[in-house]
């Protein structure tokens, strides 16, 4: 056991950590004790063990699906494939899904699933057999179902696994016209939606943009100005970390000085080329050997290097009692779920570090999953009916402007590029990004309102819990238990 592992072992478990954070918020509320308990506890966790014949012998796998709260149905939450998956983790993640969905106003309860497996040990065909078998076990108990429980990708799973699960559901429910809505995060050709793959990283970018729109909030972190030139360290260059780092560096002028991966870290003062590093990881399985920057064997040490923004985007518990004191970033945005333990959270708050909490920071995924689910239920791509009509109306305006320029002989001209930009009707990707941006802005504003309106609310995490718990409580009150 290394120093970090031994420090973590003295800390509450992930689920206890989430509960403790919940308790900090409910202490500031006036909920009836029974209702408080009802919201906190996880409703049910299903554990399944199943065998798959692989390489001439039967291998037994263990999987979980937790439903934390079904105050709204379907319940929603990703399915993770990793060796560290266990009941405590799945229940913590399911609870976070309940609060996240409430905070960003997606009409779902909270759920999460996981399979104890190292997906890198199996080839594609084997993974398909395993995923379909796990899906079969969940489908026959309505734990994958468009009206009741809708999974999505998480660590170790992607569009590919979602397509297998959706197909498995369709084979077992041949007359369900809404079968495609049984999981989200599917490829476009299997009922997916444009922009879902990038959604969580894109949401991290929109969250940071919104934070930097409020100078008062930025000042609380000790930073100033905009995202331009901010020095950023990212842990985990997977789906979420890669997209966040790519968009922040390419579109907002942030400089990604550090990347931490399983096999070490990379550092480059002038900034790392995100596409280059990502491509290298895909080809070589890690960051070691990447020609630019300095390779550091103990990558986690890079999280302690001076930077403005730290983006943990890998696993839970990586900022803990062992390293919290050494963190120098002024702003942490929790792209991963639960990266900061309860104890570390307190240390960082005392140091004046601002933490944008997971339930908000990585809600882009579930937001676009919601759009995908709605698309599947409505059986039509967003924008299909309006796009050309919108373009025709814009054409009318442009024609009229050009006519006025001619008849008044004013010599005025339209700005270069205006016509093309204005005439183009929004396609599905633009609509999805617009809906996501709107969601991230509104949710941030609901948190900051709590943060600034009461002195006892000292951080965004408690503010986020307050907003979420109030909404879940209102839902229980309205419909009864």
Question: What residues act catalytically?
Answer: 112
Output phi, psi for 140, to 5 deg: -70, -15
Stretch of 52-60, 167-175, 232-240, 397-405 contacting ligand NAD, by CB under 6 A: 232-240
Cβ proximity to ligand NAD, 74 vs 238, nearer residue: 238
Shortest Å distance, C-beta 126 to ligand NAD = 18
Which value, in Å, is the radius of gyration of the alpha carbons in the chain? 23
- The CA distance from 24 to 43, in Å, is 21
Is there binding between residue 337 and ligand NAD (CB under 6 A)?
yes
If binding means CB under 6 A, how many residues of this protein chain bind ligand NAD? Answer: 23
- The CA distance from 86 to 289, in Å, is 33
Is there binding between residue 264 and ligand NAD (CB under 6 A)?
no
**Exposure of 383 in the CB half-sphere (CA atoms within 13 A):** 19
Q: Which of 182, 195, 171 is nearest to 376 (CA)?
A: 182
Shortest Å distance, C-beta 252 to ligand NAD = 20
Stretch of 35-43, 332-340, 396-404, 473-481 contacting ligand NAD, by CB under 6 A: 332-340
> Binding ligand NAD by CB under 6 A: which of 137, 161, 261, 345?
261
Is there binding between residue 156 and ligand NAD (CB under 6 A)?
yes
> Binding ligand NAD by CB under 6 A: which of 130, 260, 307, 467?
260
- The CA distance from 181 to 187, in Å, is 13
Is there binding between residue 365 and ligand NAD (CB under 6 A)?
yes
Structural contact between residues 191 and 180, judged by C-beta atoms closer than 8 angstroms = yes
Cβ proximity to ligand NAD, 113 vs 387, nearer residue: 113
Stretch of 121-129, 165-173, 329-337, 449-457 contacting ligand NAD, by CB under 6 A: 329-337
Q: What is the DSSP letter of 301?
A: G
Shortest Å distance, C-beta 56 to ligand NAD = 29
**Three-state helix/strand/coil letters over 201-232:** HHHHHHHHHHHHCCHHHHHHHCCCCCCCCCEE
Is there binding between residue 362 and ligand NAD (CB under 6 A)?
yes
Structural contact between residues 84 and 13, judged by C-beta atoms closer than 8 angstroms = no
Q: What is the largest CA-CA distance in the chain?
A: 84
Shortest Å distance, C-beta 107 to ligand NAD = 18
Q: Pairing mode, if any, of strands 264-267 and 255-261?
A: antiparallel
- The CA distance from 233 to 428, in Å, is 32
Question: 113 - beta bridge partners?
Answer: 65, 79
Shortest Å distance, C-beta 154 to ligand NAD = 5
Place of tokens 């907003």: 467
- The CA distance from 205 to 259, in Å, is 17
Q: How far apart, in Å, are the Cα atoms of 26 and each of 35, 179, 212, 461, 476?
A: 11, 38, 28, 12, 16
Q: What is the DSSP letter of 145?
A: B
Is there binding between residue 238 and ligand NAD (CB under 6 A)?
yes
Is there binding between residue 153 and ligand NAD (CB under 6 A)?
yes
Stretch of 154-162, 321-329, 409-417, 468-476 contacting ligand NAD, by CB under 6 A: 154-162
List Cβ<8 Å contacts ≥24 apart for 352-355: 352/220, 352/221, 352/222, 353/221, 353/327, 353/329, 354/217, 354/220, 354/221, 354/330, 354/459, 354/460, 355/331, 355/459, 355/460, 355/461
Is there binding between residue 165 and ligand NAD (CB under 6 A)?
no
Stretch of 127-135, 313-321, 393-401, 402-410 contacting ligand NAD, by CB under 6 A: 313-321
> Binding ligand NAD by CB under 6 A: which of 8, 21, 90, 314?
314
Is there binding between residue 110 and ligand NAD (CB under 6 A)?
no
Shortest Å distance, C-beta 362 to ligand NAD = 4
Cβ proximity to ligand NAD, 158 vs 178, nearer residue: 158
> Binding ligand NAD by CB under 6 A: which of 240, 321, 327, 431?
240
Q: If residue 4 lies in a helix (H) or strand (E), which one and from where to where?
A: helix 3-9
**Binding residues for ligand NAD restricted to 196-215, rule: CB under 6 A:** 200
Q: Supply 322's token pair.
A: 């062992």
Is there binding between residue 262 and ligand NAD (CB under 6 A)?
yes
> Binding ligand NAD by CB under 6 A: which of 103, 155, 272, 355?
155
Stretch of 147-155, 378-386, 390-398, 428-436 contacting ligand NAD, by CB under 6 A: 147-155
User: Closest CB to ligand NAD belongs to which residue?
Assistant: 238
Is there binding between residue 235 and ligand NAD (CB under 6 A)?
yes
CA dihedral 344, 346, 347, 353 (to 10 degrees): 100
**Binding residues for ligand NAD restricted to 277-296, rule: CB under 6 A:** none
Stretch of 26-34, 307-315, 427-435, 442-450 contacting ligand NAD, by CB under 6 A: 307-315
- The CA distance from 128 to 276, in Å, is 30
Is there binding between residue 179 and ligand NAD (CB under 6 A)?
no
Q: What is the DSSP string of 334-361?
A: --SSS-B-HHHHHHHHHTT-EEE-HHHH
Is there binding between residue 313 and ligand NAD (CB under 6 A)?
yes
Enumerate binding residues for ligand NAD (CB under 6 A): 153-156, 200, 235-241, 260-262, 313-315, 335-337, 362, 365
């Amino acid at each position: 056991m290394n120093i970090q592992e031994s420090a973590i072992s003295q800390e509450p478990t992930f689920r206890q950590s989430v509960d403790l954070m919940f308790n900090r918020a409910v202490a500031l509320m006036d909920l009836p004790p029974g209702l408080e308990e009802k919201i906190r506890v996880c409703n049910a966790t299903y554990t399944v063990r199943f065998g798959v014949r692989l390489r001439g012998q039967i291998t037994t796998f263990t999987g979980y699906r937790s439903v934390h709260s079904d105050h709204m149905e379907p319940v929603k939450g990703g399915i993770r494939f990793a060796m560290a998956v266990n009941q405590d983790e799945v229940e913590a993640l399911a609870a976070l899904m309940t609060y996240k969905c409430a905070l960003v106003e997606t009409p779902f309860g909270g759920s999460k699933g996981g399979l104890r497996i190292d997906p890198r040990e199996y080839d594609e065909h084997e993974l398909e057999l395993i995923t379909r078998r796990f899906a079969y076990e969940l489908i026959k108990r309505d734990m994958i179902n468009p009206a009741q429980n809708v999974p999505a990708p998480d660590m170790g799973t992607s569009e590919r696994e979602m397509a297998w699960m959706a197909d498995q559901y369709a084979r077992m429910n041949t007359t369900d016209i809404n079968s495609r809505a049984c999981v989200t995060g599917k490829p476009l050709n299997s009922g997916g939606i444009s922009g879902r793959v990038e959604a969580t990283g894109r949401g991290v970018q929109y969250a940071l943009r919104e934070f930097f729109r409020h100078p008062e909030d930025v000042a609380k972190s000790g930073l100033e100005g905009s995202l331009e030139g901010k020095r950023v360290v990212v842990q985990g260059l997977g789906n979420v970390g890669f997209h966040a780092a790519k968009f922040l560096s390419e579109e907002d002028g942030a400089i990604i000085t550090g990347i931490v991966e399983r096999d070490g870290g990379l550092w480059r003062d002038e900034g790392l080329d995100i596409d280059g590093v990502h491509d290298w990881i895909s080809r070589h399985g890690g960051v070691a050997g990447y020609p630019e920057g300095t390779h550091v064997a103990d990558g986690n040490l890079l999280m302690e290097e001076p930077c403005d923004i730290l983006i943990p985007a890998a696993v839970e518990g990586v900022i803990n009692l062992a390293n919290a004191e050494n963190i120098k970033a002024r702003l942490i945005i929790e792209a991963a779920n639960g990266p900061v333990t309860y104890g570390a959270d307190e240390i960082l708050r005392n140091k004046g570090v601002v933490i944008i909490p997971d339930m908000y920071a990585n809600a882009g995924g579930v937001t676009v999953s919601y759009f995908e689910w709605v698309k599947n239920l409505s059986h039509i791509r967003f924008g299909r009916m309006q796009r050309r009509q919108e373009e025709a109306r814009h054409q009318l305006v442009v024609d009229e402007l050009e006519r006025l320029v001619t008849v008044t002989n004013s010599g005025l001209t339209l700005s270069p590029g205006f016509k093309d930009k204005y005439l183009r009707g929004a396609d599905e990707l633009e609509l999805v990004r617009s809906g996501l941006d709107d969601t991230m802005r509104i949710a941030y504003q609901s948190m900051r309102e709590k943060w600034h309106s009461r002195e006892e609310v000292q951080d965004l995490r408690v503010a986020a819990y307050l907003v979420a718990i109030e909404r879940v409580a209102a839902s229980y009150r309205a419909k009864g238990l």
